[in-house]
Amino acid sequence: MMLRENEFVYTFTDEKSTILSYESNQLASNSPCEDTRTEASFNHKPGFICGVFDGHAGPACSQVISKRLLRYIAASLVDRKILKEQIERGCNSQSFLKCHNDKVDFVKEIKDIYEESFAKYVDTLSSRDPTDRSQAIEEAFMLLDKHMSDEALNKTSMMTMAVAMSGAVCAVAHVEDLDLHLASTGDCTAVLGSHCPETGQWTSKKLNNEHNTDNLQEVQRILSEHPKEESETAIRNDRLLGQLAPLRALGDFRYKWSTEIMNKYVVPLFGDHFVPPNYHTPPYLTARPDVHHHRLTVNDKFVVIGSDGLWDFLSPSQVVKLVAEHLNSKRIMEPIKLPENDVTLQSISDMLAERKAGRKRKPLDQNSATHLIRHALGGTDYGVEHSKISYYLSLPQDAVRYYRDDITITVIYFNTDRIKSLSSSS
């Protein structure tokens, strides 16, 4: 079935892991899909990192940064002593992370270029004092973006320029012990789902603010960076220079390079129309992420990271409610565990009744990301309408993009027992 074609589930067996498991899925609209996703564990320290990447103007940039960005971040977060040891052993971009759902690699020509950039990056890190996690993550974003620019200009080919002319936004989550850092550039969104045992209520908390024209602070930032005479053209029709919807992104160097570089490299290859209108005082775009820190508590149960194709259909509170319902239904389906103390026939009867009622609410999908996609496409006030899903999935390729975007979702479940243990010892 189309909805389940790209499902992935990973369960962590280490009881000391803050992450219990994660579930992800992706439904394409564009052909090829412009969204990507990556999830990984660290090789030399505890921790988990994952990202959702939403490309535009083609899939090239999102495919590249989904494989490179997490590795840049991992190198920046590893202990400097271990970093130097790995350099002495001849490390490469795969030395610091174990990716869980990575089935393809770059072709040799482009891989060699990327490995050369990564080697320069780790050499630079090894000679500098470590910074705090937020700053290290931010610098990894910025340096990867600089490297993609340098690669396009210094090793010019259709492959490096295709990456440079396309772009991508992303949201990246890093979890180590009780610390959750969420870095975002553009309009992907991450939402934390928390449960209060006293009231039984679920709450949703956005972990980032999207960089688009709904974000007035972001609009004011861009306008302040350019002359007043550009106030009508820097952002026009809710888009950067009247063209780009996200106001921050990796790649998209035709909104960053100087006019001299544009005339020397871009115009001869792609034509004058690749230079945006009213392009007077670049750069207009930055890859700099906002990095938000959250200290996990026992009430925090999961995080949902999604590309904007998900949030076009569902609000953060709806997403948390759906994942919570899905989580509760799966628990009801687990084998009954009787209390160790005395148990009455009435309590057993109540447990069986709850289980029977739960079977009626059992979702069609084991994967919570698939559950979200199903409700995004087919949800109504009265439940899921399967004819709506069929309609969205049967749209012709040349029309589907006008009705829905690529949807990519990763749901990360926290290990409450581990969080409780860490909280009591801190």
How far is the C-alpha of 51 from the C-alpha of 58, rounded, in Å?
A: 19
pLDDT of residue 335: 57
Give the range among 10-19, 52-61, 97-106, 359-368 with minimum mean pLDDT.
359-368
Provide φ and ψ at 373, rounded to 5°. -65, -40
Give the range among 104-108, 266-270, 280-284 with minimum mean pLDDT.
104-108
Mean pLDDT of the chain: 92
pLDDT of residue 105: 82
pLDDT digits (tens, 9 = 90+) for 1-30: 789 999 999 999 988 999 999 999 999 999
Strand arrangement of the beta sheet that strand 300-306 belongs to: 8-11, 19-27, 407-414, 300-306, 189-195, 202-206
How far is the C-alpha of 220 from the C-alpha of 85, rounded, in Å?
A: 45
Position 383 confidence tier, pLDDT thresholds 50, 70, 90: confident
What is the distance of C-alpha 156 from the center of its chain?
Answer: 29
pLDDT digits (tens, 9 = 90+) for 131-168: 899 999 999 999 999 999 999 999 878 889 999 999 99
Which residue spans of the chain are classified as CATH 3.60.40.10? 2-210+292-424
Average pLDDT over residues 203-221: 97
Provide the 3-class DSSP secondary structure of residue 189.
Answer: strand
Architecture field, domain 2-210+292-424: 4-Layer Sandwich (3.60)
How far is the C-alpha of 30 from the C-alpha of 56, rounded, in Å?
A: 10
125 burial (CB, 10 Å; 0-12 / 13-18 / 19+) is: buried
Position 328 confidence tier, pLDDT thresholds 50, 70, 90: confident
Model confidence at 380: pLDDT above 90:
no
Q: Which two tokens stand for residue 205?
A: 């908390």
pLDDT of residue 220: 97
Model confidence at 358: pLDDT above 60:
no
pLDDT digits (tens, 9 = 90+) for 223-259: 999 999 999 999 999 999 999 999 999 999 999 999 9
pTM (two decimals) = 0.92
> In DSSP terms, which residues pair with 394 in a beta bridge?
none
Average pLDDT over residues 345-350: 68
